[in-house]
Structure 1
């Protein structure tokens, strides 16, 4: 862990370069992503005119590209490795891996139920998924609707936030009538 607590573009470049030059996942500061987020966030808050503003935009774009490259390199190393060592993974990367593990478990569950003739179990999974709720923010007005769970929802005005069944949410999101609300929104 050669980097100090503060991140700048030069240090970010050095960290990404070091990661690309090694086959294994490199050890870095555990709060790297938070420090990097602070660095980019602080840059975005600064206001400049003219050439200085153009330079700021280039720095932000470069930092964004390096960040994307860094995450993708580390995730690719993880996916190519048959034996994942959690030792040098950051908590944010473990969060991503949790979702991958959940995906694999779900795929195995569906495969097992299908080849073992458990159609009632598959029907239950399907129904539970259709009716699980999702939080959405409405981009257009919507009249009352009947949810996949046969409950009534709405009516909704622009910017209203509601919890509705997944199947209904997906239909509204696809038509750009609503957008999914995520934790970071």
Structure 2
């Protein structure tokens, strides 16, 4: 279904039960998905020490490796290592982490993912303050003169998506809204047309 849809990427959430209170899947599943999915993979690591898995993620053909600011002690080094492995590098911020934390690295990342729910579980309610965070991040990116993309994940649906796009979001991640839809391909198309 994803291959037939207008989705640009497939976003994969890897959870370790430590950084977030849930466990999802690991490399065997990513490898299996990479063999059948024709869309570029945006692999979002909600784990402690994601830097340990850079080379392995690159070998599976991931287009983007997404790491949490809160999980990386040496974020600049991690971003460099992701790039050196041949992937695009993204940094994710939890809802309580201000965008100002990325001021000195914004020119080094390809994308910033703002979590609009607390990471770890699907189907949560959208946190309204995300709109203000998007606007602040868009201003920071514009002032820095970079091409950094803004991605939002959590509670993205027909109501929140247009507001997010208007605020400056480039990439929408939608899980429950798409996969619980009676017609996921049409739901994806409607999000693409915003």
TM-score strictly above 0.5: no
More strand by share: 2
Q: Relative CO higher for 1 or 2, CA cutoff 8 Å, sep ≥ 6?
A: 2
Report the TM-score, using the length of structure 2 for normalisation: 0.24
Report the TM-score, using the length of structure 1 for normalisation: 0.24
- Structure number with bigger Rg: 1
More helix by share: 1
